[in-house]
Amino acid sequence: MGLFRRNDTETDTDKPRSPKRARGAEKNAQRAEKAAQGHPWTHGGEMGSKAIGVLLIGGILCGYVGVGVGWLALNRPSGAVAQVQTEERTSVQRLAGGYAAGFVSEWLRATSEDPGELGTYVDLSGVGGYLSAKPWEYRDLEVVSSDIVDEKFVNVLLSANVKETTTDEGDNELTSWPRRYWQVPISTHESGPKAMGFPTPVAAPSSGIGEDLAYSETLALSSEGGETVSNFLAAYLTGEGDITRFTSPDATFTAIDPAPYSRVDIIKLGSDLPADEQTDEGSELRVRAVIAAQNADERMATASYALTMTMRADRWEVLAIDDAPLVYIDSDDELGDLAPSPTPEPSTTPARPTTPATN
């Protein structure tokens, strides 16, 4: 009966499975898959991997943000402080200037009988009897400048036209309104501005009028150059005569139309070089003319013209109306041209010590 004996080496996998066993194997496979996937709410290992990736990216981004914030922290304060300091400086100057203006106004109006509000600005102990018997009349009071001396004081310069009356030799009363100036130191303590004494009368600040102009040579009105300037301005401003008779072919301007004036008188003429020494073809001369112009209803207007003239065919011609006058720019009398103008071709005329034109 050996033909029907069971083979002990045969495995279970070689035998067909029953439906029950197959269902069990399927359930085991599903459980294994769920274990690998994790809970459906958290996605298990997948979400864990994603979370780690997000954290790494977030850490990198935070690093860049931290560097940016650090850079801003290092760079922003200096600019911010400078802006705040500028605003505070301007505010302090305005406050001190306004306070000083009110102070000077009360000071001018105060009298020994009626000091007004002057006592709210400065201590009047012992000086009340020395105040004016009559108030000073003034007009056009203004703050000229307001300069910070240090963290405690602002120096304010004010001016006003003050009425002054004098008499001449015939006992005739003469009235004038000279411009007067006062210096007022103002304390800028946190408690508020405070005047540190009475106003100090001072001289007018230097205006610098004409001190830097480089027209040191007198140009005679009867000279050839003077006559050219006179005829040119008459044609330019009154329309009388042909302007091209007195201008260079390279000139780019035209006469004013309609003409604003009916008459032009030359008050003063000056040039940068002696005109009679500039005789070569292409020689250049800078001229400043001060004029008085009158219109049809006889109203007068004073005006100044800065002109560039050039020598052509043995006569002077106006080449340009300069945008600004010729000025000295340093103590060595070096000339600086603030008014660039078209210039003729170079000539054999000795060059002047000038600097390049600037706008």
Least confident of 214-218, 261-265, 308-312, 324-328: 324-328
Domains assigned to the chain: 93-202 (3.10.450.540), 217-355 (3.10.450.540)
pLDDT of residue 107: 95
What would you measure as the largest C-alpha separation in the chain, in angstroms? 175
168: amino acid identity, one letter: D
Look at residue 359 and tell me whether its pLDDT is greater than 70. Answer: no
Percent of the chain with pLDDT over 70: 65
Question: Is residue 270 within 8 Å of residue 216, measured between CB atoms?
Answer: yes
> What percent of the chain has a predicted confidence (pLDDT) above 90?
47
Q: Residue 126: its pLDDT value, please? A: 87
pLDDT at 68: 44
**pLDDT at residue 264 is higher than 90:** yes
Measured from the Cβ of residue 175, the count of other Cβ atoms closer than 10 Å reads: 9
Q: What pTM, to 2 d.p., does this model score?
A: 0.47
Q: How does residue 297 score in pLDDT terms, banded at 50, 70 and 90?
A: confident
pLDDT above 80: residue 261 = yes
Residue 248: other Cβ atoms inside 10 A:
19
Range of weakest confidence among 3-12, 21-30, 297-306, 314-323:
3-12
Exposure of 325 by Cβ count < 10 A (0-12 exposed, 13-18 middle, 19+ buried)?
Answer: buried
> With 90 as the cut, is the pLDDT of residue 163 above it?
yes
In angstroms, the Cα distances linking 288 to 189, 233, 309 are 51, 12, 11
Confidence of residue 34 (pLDDT cuts 50, 70, 90): very low
Is the pLDDT at 42 greater than 70? The verdict is: no
Tell me the two tokens of residue 125.
């102990």
- Per-residue model confidence as pLDDT tens digits over 54-108: 545 555 554 544 444 344 433 444 344 444 455 556 888 899 999 999 999 999 9
Summarised one tens digit per residue, pLDDT across range 197-233 is: 999 999 988 766 665 788 989 999 999 999 999 999 9
Strands (E), the chain: 138-148, 153-162, 164-167, 173-176, 179-187, 194-195, 200-202, 217-218, 263-271, 284-294, 300-312, 315-321, 326-328, 335-337, 354-355
Mean pLDDT of the chain: 76
Q: 6 to each of 13, 147, 157, 332, how far by Cα in Å?
A: 16, 121, 128, 131
With a cut of 50, say whether residue 144 has pLDDT above it: yes
The pLDDT, as a whole number, for residue 296 is: 87
Average pLDDT over residues 298-315: 93
- Are 247 and 318 in contact by the 8 Å Cβ rule? The answer is yes
Among residues 304, 350, 344, the alpha carbon closest in space to that of 320 is found at 344
Residue 239: the pLDDT is 92
What pLDDT is stored for residue 108 in this prediction? Answer: 96
Q: CA 26, CA 17: separation in Å to the nearest integer? A: 12
Q: Is pLDDT larger for residue 90 or for residue 124?
A: 124
Whole-number pLDDT of residue 89: 62
Give the SS3 label for residue 257: coil
Distance between alpha carbon 299 and the CA centroid of its chain, in Å?
36
Q: What share of the chain is helix, strand, coil (3-state, %, to 5)?
A: 35, 25, 40
The dihedral through the CA atoms of 109, 110, 116, 118 has a sign that is positive
